[in-house]
Structure 1
């Protein structure tokens, strides 16, 4: 196991990834406290690494942390295949909250009024 500071991670992320490939874990320290773990997915020994990547992609997408296209890349799928799999899981590919929808509808109505005037 190797420990490195946030500054070291920021200054040389490639070295941190190499360390994760060769060591069991890389612990990222924040003010002398462990903050995060960096683990090479291939070293996890997971029998279904593609399943792990897909689950990670779905979780990140559902939380709004990555776009659909980026989630597809993480999962190793085409965007259309990702859409299909998300659909089978009942996960919507477009998430709009009520305030955003109301704002967009108001903008459309305003635009339509201007066009007809």
Structure 2
């Protein structure tokens, strides 16, 4: 079954708009990757300063292939175009899960 990677990003209130704009500007950076199944950027509503970046992949190997190539480019590594902008988050933690059950809406 698929795997899910959730990157929990600690984002100060004054950097939230910056983070969301950066993700909006990178639209399409992961969607064409082999094995990619889903992406969501989740904004906290209450009680936390953590955004969650949710991605779903066909396999761990597909995720690792994306991380070793396209992800580096998407995150500005290896561009050689001067200084990278300061990160909008102050901390991040990557969680990994294997999908063992999933359901969708029932169709009439």
TM-score range, shorter chain: under 0.3
Higher relative contact order (CA 8 A, sep 6+): 2
Q: So what's the TM-score if we normalise by structure 1?
A: 0.24
Q: Which structure has the larger Rg over C-alpha atoms?
A: 1
Larger helix fraction of residues: 1
Q: So what's the TM-score if we normalise by structure 2?
A: 0.26
Larger strand fraction of residues: 2
